[in-house]
């Protein structure tokens, strides 16, 4: 067997056998296959696609390419939640404490932001003192004692995905459903949970631009999860607009706390209740998804979820007083206000552009090695459907570098479309698979 032959088979539309896929994954992780051959294969896959069986095989090879997590010591059905990457998506900060308050153990590994999308770990680090690294024993102990722990990916988990994802990122081969499904599901399966809720983003601010593509990706991931014996549900949610008003790490923590206080923007609240409700159902805490959602709503409104969030922050060394005093969270002292150039209604906010604008403030990374400004980001003052007058402040960019903040402000302006007529309201949650 050799790489040239494997590339040729896929280039010509053939199907790779399990041993050919194994040869590639093992050889690439071991450093025996050079990047140029791996890139050629990924591009062949990008154009010729993988069958369902090839995708399942690739997922399994990546899942077991390094360490896997054993959560069996934690009693109960452990339920994970994963978002395919969005703009302003702070739902993990809300959903994890709701689920834990309902008795669903949440032992979660999260990622950092890259490109125009944010990451939970950066958001948590905006909380002074919060530790995103725990030893495996501390991680398990924390879930056993308070029901929730969220940490950065540690150990040698799915090294094949790490290497292949990094290569896809620089060879324009990210946007392939099989590769995305194998990448996400290999990590989720290696993380050792019993059930998985996937939040599949769909629209301009997401990898999947159309509902059709989001549906196909969801079906693929649900099939992979079910095949591996994990109850898996996918929620397809709209990413044609940023979620909530805040984009950027500390700004998003503030907004998440508002939602945990029973307030906050309707869209974040709606999606969080849906995701947490499904987690409650999969975790055996409700007889149906609907009942799970009612329980989730109660946990929010009664303050139980906020109490759990405080407990969670304290357990991981953070200052829980941020829940009562937002001044304790970092916020850049430079700001650029963005003004409406005309009168009308906001009919669209390009999520991807806002994500890039937030990156320009310093809140996001261009490469994995970049550091982030935790107090930087974009606050949207006007959302889709709002009426605006010429000169109204539609958004504000924050940060610590005046030039970055100004350039972000210019980008934000381009993200807004103003029309004469109020746009029709669109559904946030498109489908559940």
User: By CB under 6 A, is residue 84 in contact with ligand URA?
Assistant: yes
Residue from 78, 187, 269, 334 carrying the catalytic annotation? 187
User: By CB under 6 A, is residue 25 in contact with ligand URA?
Assistant: no
Spatial distance between the Cα atoms of 135 and 141, rounded to a whole number of angstroms = 10
Given a contact cutoff of 8 angstroms between Cβ atoms, the answer to whether 39 and 76 are in contact is no
Nearer to ligand URA, 56 or 179 (CB): 179
Here the tokens at position 146 are 């308070």
Site for ligand URA in 267-296 (CB under 6 A): none
* Beta-bridge partner residues of 8: none
User: By CB under 6 A, is residue 183 in contact with ligand URA?
Assistant: yes
Judge whether 407 counts as a catalytic residue: no
Residue from 82, 112, 177, 215 carrying the catalytic annotation? 82
Stretch of 179-187, 327-335, 358-366, 407-415 contacting ligand URA, by CB under 6 A: 179-187
User: By CB under 6 A, is residue 151 in contact with ligand URA?
Assistant: no
* Residue 183 beta carbon to ligand URA: minimum distance, rounded to whole angstroms: 3
* Residue 403 beta carbon to ligand URA: minimum distance, rounded to whole angstroms: 31
Stretch of 176-184, 238-246, 320-328, 364-372 contacting ligand URA, by CB under 6 A: 176-184
Residue from 110, 183, 186, 218 carrying the catalytic annotation? 183
Residue selected from 27, 85, 205, 375 as contacting ligand URA according to rule CB under 6 A: 85
Classify strands 246-247 and 344-349 as parallel, antiparallel or unpaired. unpaired
Given a contact cutoff of 8 angstroms between Cβ atoms, the answer to whether 221 and 184 are in contact is yes
Stretch of 63-71, 178-186, 345-353, 391-399 contacting ligand URA, by CB under 6 A: 178-186
Q: What is the CA radius of gyration of the chain?
A: 21
User: By CB under 6 A, is residue 126 in contact with ligand URA?
Assistant: no
Nearer to ligand URA, 158 or 358 (CB): 158
Number of residues that bind ligand URA (CB under 6 A): 9
DSSP string, 173-241: ----HHHHHHHHHHHHHHTT-SEEEEEEEESTTSSB-SHHHHHHHHHHHHHHHHHTT-EEEEEEEE-SS
Q: Is 274 exposed, middle or buried (0-12, 13-18, 19+ CB in 10 A)?
A: buried
x-or-dash pattern for ligand URA, window 1-20, by CB under 6 A?
A: --------------------
Site for ligand URA in 206-225 (CB under 6 A): 207
Torsions phi, psi for 79 (to 5 deg): -120, 130
Spatial distance between the Cα atoms of 407 and 353, rounded to a whole number of angstroms = 12
Nearer to ligand URA, 116 or 165 (CB): 165
Spatial distance between the Cα atoms of 300 and 148, rounded to a whole number of angstroms = 16
Residue selected from 28, 165, 281, 309 as contacting ligand URA according to rule CB under 6 A: 165
* Residue 199 beta carbon to ligand URA: minimum distance, rounded to whole angstroms: 12
Residue from 80, 161, 267, 350 carrying the catalytic annotation? 161
Spatial distance between the Cα atoms of 260 and 124, rounded to a whole number of angstroms = 15
Stretch of 48-56, 180-188, 269-277, 331-339 contacting ligand URA, by CB under 6 A: 180-188
Here the tokens at position 164 are 């292949």
Spatial distance between the Cα atoms of 117 and 51, rounded to a whole number of angstroms = 28
Spatial distance between the Cα atoms of 349 and 69, rounded to a whole number of angstroms = 40
Site for ligand URA in 331-370 (CB under 6 A): none
Spatial distance between the Cα atoms of 213 and 209, rounded to a whole number of angstroms = 7
Rounded (10°) CA dihedral 244, 246, 252, 254 = -90
Given a contact cutoff of 8 angstroms between Cβ atoms, the answer to whether 168 and 174 are in contact is yes
Alpha helices by DSSP H, listed for 81-176, are 91-101, 120-125, 136-146, 159-169
Judge whether 82 counts as a catalytic residue: yes
Nearer to ligand URA, 69 or 313 (CB): 69
Nearer to ligand URA, 235 or 296 (CB): 235
Judge whether 421 counts as a catalytic residue: no
346, containing H or E segment: strand 344-349
Q: Which residues are catalytic?
A: 82, 161, 168, 183, 187
Q: Which residues bind ligand URA (CB under 6 A)?
A: 84-85, 165, 174, 179-180, 183-184, 207
């Amino acid at each position: 067997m050799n790489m040239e032959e494997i590339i040729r088979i896929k280039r010509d539309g053939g199907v790779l056998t399990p041993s050919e896929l194994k040869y590639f994954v093992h050889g690439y992780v071991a450093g025996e296959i050079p990047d140029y051959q791996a890139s050629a294969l990924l591009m062949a896959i990008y154009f010729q696609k993988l069958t369902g069986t090839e995708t399942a095989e690739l997922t399994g090879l990546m899942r077991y390419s390094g360490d896997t997590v054993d959560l069996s010591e934690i009693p109960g059905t452990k339920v994970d939640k994963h978002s395919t990457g969005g703009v302003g998506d702070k739902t993990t900060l809300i959903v994890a404490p709701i689920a834990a308050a309902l008795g669903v153990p949440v032992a979660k590994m999260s990622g950092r932001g890259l490109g125009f999308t944010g990451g939970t770990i950066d958001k948590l680090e905006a909380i002074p003192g919060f530790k995103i690294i725990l030893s495996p024993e501390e991680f398990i102990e924390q879930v056993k004692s308070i029901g929730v722990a969220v940490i950065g990916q540690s150990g040698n988990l799915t090294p094949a995905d790490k290497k292949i994802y990094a290569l896809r990122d620089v060879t324009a081969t990210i946007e392939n459903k099989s590769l995305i499904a194998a990448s996400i599901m290999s990590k989720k399966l290696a993380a050792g949970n019993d059930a998985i809720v996937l939040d599949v983003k769909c629209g301009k601010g997401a990898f999947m631009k159309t509902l059709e593509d989001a549906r196909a990706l969801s079906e693929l991931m649900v099939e992979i999860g079910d095949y591996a014996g994990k109850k898996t549900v996918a929620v397809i949610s709209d990413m044609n607009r940023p979620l909530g008003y805040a984009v950027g790490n500390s700004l998003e923590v503030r907004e998440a706390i508002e939602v945990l206080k029973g307030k906050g923007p309707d869209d974040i609240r709606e999606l969080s209740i849906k995701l947490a409700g499904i987690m409650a159902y999969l975790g055996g805490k409700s007889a149906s998804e609907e009942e799970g959602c009612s329980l989730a709503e109660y946990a929010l409104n009664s303050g139980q979820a906020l109490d759990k969030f405080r407990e969670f922050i304290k357990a991981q060394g953070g200052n829980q007083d941020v829940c009562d005093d937002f001044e304790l969270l970092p916020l850049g002292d430079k700001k650029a206000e963005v003004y409406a150039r005309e009168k009308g209604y906001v009919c669209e906010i390009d999520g991807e552009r806002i994500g890039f604008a937030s990156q320009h403030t310093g809140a996001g990374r261009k490469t994995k090695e970049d550091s982030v400004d935790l107090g930087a980001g974009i606050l949207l003052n006007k959302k889709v459907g709002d009426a605006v007058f010429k000169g109204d402040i539609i958004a504000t960019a924050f940060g610590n570098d005046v030039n970055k903040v100004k350039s972000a402000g210019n980008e934000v302006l381009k993200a807004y479309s103003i029309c004469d007529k109020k746009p029709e309201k669109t559904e946030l949650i498109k489908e559940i698979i």
